[in-house]
Each structure stands twice: as structure tokens, then as C-alpha cells.
Homo-oligomer: A and B are copies of this chain.
Amino acid sequence: MFNKQYVMKINKIDNSRLNKIDPNDSPFGANISDHMLICDYENGKWGEPVIMPYGSMNYSPALMALHYGQAIFEGMKAYKDKNNEVFLFRPEKNFERFNESAKRLAMPQVPKEIFIDGLYALIDLDRDWIPTKPGISLYIRPVMFASEEMFSARISNKYTFAIMTSPAGNYYDKPLKIKIEDYYTRAVDGGVGFTKCAGNYGASFYPTFLANKEGFDQVIWTDSKNHAYFEESGTMNVMVRIGNTIFTPPTSTTILSGITRDSLINLAKYHNLDVKEERISVDNIVNAYQEGNLKEIFGCGTAVVISRYSHLGYKDTLMELPQLPDEESYAVFLKKQLVGIQTNEIDDPFGWRYKI
């Protein structure tokens, strides 16, 4: 996949910050690794990508991304196995999705030799930042934003593409109380819900804050028309187990095409679990709960892997989900399979793992 002939310009740091930071004991996303990749786009073409010490750039507050929101990102991880070998997981999927986001935000496509080769070179250089403790990995953040500086609500002529990394524990570790959102909307047909653009996240914070005040950890987003169908859960895709079938909404222009989502679907099928990509109505969920068939609900995404839910709030009702023992939980089983492949502990029949 990588173009080994591509020569990346690298300006190394003088002193690693690893003498002050323990990657195995670092809050998610808080400590950014020694180096970053930077590549600028101007006059219709990309310049030379450069790996340089992570730090400040010379942006003014007129930076167009801060005014007009042309800003997209990806979330990926690098893993170390017991022998300190380093692996990426399905990086071409993030590359493809990044450029799909770019298209919808009227931003330029990033070439593979910048995104993928740059990623390879950066992870290779900062491999000492990759945690070794089980369940912990190196979070990778490719980002692109409009970098022209002026005031005019139009497509920017300049962009910066960057890749940064940061040691990452899991996001959530306890089962979550979730509210089914019935007023606020995350995404709409013809909008940008399927992209990882910055605006999607900021727009979700206030409704989430309100749910937090009511005692919930996150919200389940529902469709914009009638708030009758599940779409996503917080910043994750959502999966529901009714009886012994896993349901997850099909991807659309309002639902992110999650790579963890896709991997779990494939893993479930591989292990002969029944999985259906179908719309999930709130009514069906309530019925299944009342009939005792609602077994598990969980969110899935790169940052969290899988997050199990304990309670589901809908209007004035609070539904308490059964707490299945680990050996009966599909969520626990699938997470173990996925993390096992990611960290080279079990075979990878899919060809998802890529050694650096």
C-alpha cells in the first residue's frame, strides 16, 4: 500500500517530550506526540509534505476555517503488539472517507502519497509514543482546514493538511446512560452528516450538554423528519441487539460510514452472528424492551471501539437494559475479536492489519 520510494522531508525534534510523558498513562488526546506532518495546498496544487516538530503555526484569527468551517478530520489508531511491532488498521478506509468529506466540503482531494506515505513515515518516526499497555493505543488525527486569511464567505484557495498523533486510552469505560433525542437534530438529508466535518461536532455539544444536565452520558440522534428512527449515538455508530439479532441503521447521507461499524458487521457475519443493516425505529425499541427482547445497545467508533449502554431514556421513561454477563454479550465478544486483530493477538482473515 505504501510507496516506499516516496522521500519524506523530516525535521526532527532535538529532545523528545517522552522524558516527561508516559504514553501508557496519558489522558485521551491530551499529549500530542513529538512530530506532525504538514502539507500546504495553494494555487491548485499540493506542496511538499514535511514532518516537523509538533507546535505552533503562524495563523491569524482571520484563518478562513475559523469563519467558514471548511475543516475535516479522521480518527485512526496505531497499535503495538507484544513484540513491539507496529500496526495500522484499515488505513485506506480512512483515506477514502477523508476525501469523501473533502469533496462535500468543497476542499481539494489529498493524494495517497501524502496521506498514506505521510502517515507511514510519521508513525514510524514517533513509534516510541505508541502505548504498550493492553487496551491503549496511539490515536492518529489527520485534519485538513482552509488556511487562507480573509473575510469572504467562499471556498478557500489555501488549505493545510496535517497529521498529528497522541497516546490514547479508551474514551469511556463504564456502561452509559443514553437519551433518545427527540428535539435536536444532528444531520439531515442533503446535508453533511455523513462527513467528518468540524461543524457536525460543535453542533452536537449543546444538546449533549442538556442531556448531561438531565443525568445522561450521551444522546442517540434520531432522524430529522420525525425523530422516529435511530441514526447515531453521540459521535459513534449505534448497534442494537434484539433477541439474538444485531441491528444497525444502513449508512446514508445522515450517518457516518464508520470503519469500526463496518468491521463489526463483518466480524459478526464471520462468527455466524445474525446482523441486519436496517432502520431501527424508536417504537420497535420500546416494544422489544417491554417484551424483554432488548438485550444490548452499544456505540462503536475508532476512539471508543465499543461502548455499552446501561440505560435508555425516551421522553419521560427510563429503560434499564439487562446487564448481560461478559460471556453472553455480543458487544464484549465483538470488541475482543476486533481489538485482537488490531493488536496482532489473533489471526486477521480480512487483511485489515497493516504492519509498519
Contact = CB atoms under 8 A, between A and B. Distances in A.
Interface string A68-80: 1111010000000
A191 interface: yes
Contacts of A103: 206
B73 A201 contact: no
A188 B154 CA distance: 22
Nearest to A224: B188
A149 B32 contact: yes
A240 to B, nearest CB: 22
A190 B224 contact: yes
A105 B120 CA distance: 35
Contact of A29 (B143, B150, B201, B206): B150
B188 A143 contact: no
Interface residues of A, number: 68
Interface stretch (A2-10, A59-67, A273-281): A59-67
A106 B201 CA distance: 11
B197 A202 contact: yes
Contacts of A152: 28-30, 171
A151 B141 contact: yes
Given A32-B150, A106-B206, 11 more contacts: A29-B152, A59-B59, A61-B143, A61-B164, A67-B198, A69-B197, A71-B198, A184-B191, A191-B224, A192-B203, A197-B202
